[in-house]
Amino acid sequence: MPEPSTPPRNDRLLRERVHDPYKARRKLPEPTVCPSCGAVWLNGRWSWAEAPAGAAEYICQACQRIADSYPAGEVTMSGSFLAAHRDEIIGLARNQEELEKGEHPLNRIMAIDDQGGEGLLITTTDIHLPRRIGEAVHRAYGGDFEFAYDEAGYFVRVTWHRDS
């Protein structure tokens, strides 16, 4: 388990240094559409563009991770404050997901699971959304926020805790 560390300012640093094991091994033809979510690979990136006629088909890595229940990141939230403000906090997390996913179609919430009365576990398809959610919750509600990145395992773990 790696020590919690300060996240780098630029997500791109993270993206270039490590390799997502779910990323397509071959270069995808352009255009390619994911038949599961409809994201389109064009001009070297995924977007929510309309799929052009004759596009190739390939299940994107977000849909593949969802199918495998194999998240790339998680946010664990806990504390009595969470218990009292659960709906607001989930709403905030969903809101961050909408913003992130609009720009980066493969960055999504996979599941939101109750961990008993004072706990919540959010899993994601990517390594960027957990920090975004954690920072947003921390900005809105204070509490203790930690971020840990396991480079070898290509996995991000964020924890947030607040008692009332």
Can you give the binding site for Zn ion, defined by CB under 5 A? Answer: 34, 36-37, 60, 63
CB of 54 to Zn ion, least distance (A): 19
What Å distances lie between residue 48 and 15, 24, 38, 56, CA to CA? 21, 18, 7, 15
Whose Cβ is closer to Zn ion: residue 63's or residue 82's? Answer: 63
Whose Cβ is closer to Zn ion: residue 21's or residue 117's? Answer: 21
Answer whether 96's CB lies under 8 Å from 132's CB.
yes
Q: Closest by alpha carbon to 141, among 65, 84, 99, 103? A: 84
Whose Cβ is closer to Zn ion: residue 37's or residue 158's? Answer: 37
CB of 33 to Zn ion, least distance (A): 9
> Which of 28-50 are b and which e, b meaning 16 or more Cβ less than 10 Å from the residue's Cβ?
eeebbbbeebebbbbeeebeebe
- Within 13 Å of residue 32, how many CA atoms lie on the same side as its CB? 17
CB of 105 to Zn ion, least distance (A): 7
Answer whether 72's CB lies under 8 Å from 14's CB.
no
CB of 41 to Zn ion, least distance (A): 10
Whose Cβ is closer to Zn ion: residue 34's or residue 51's? Answer: 34
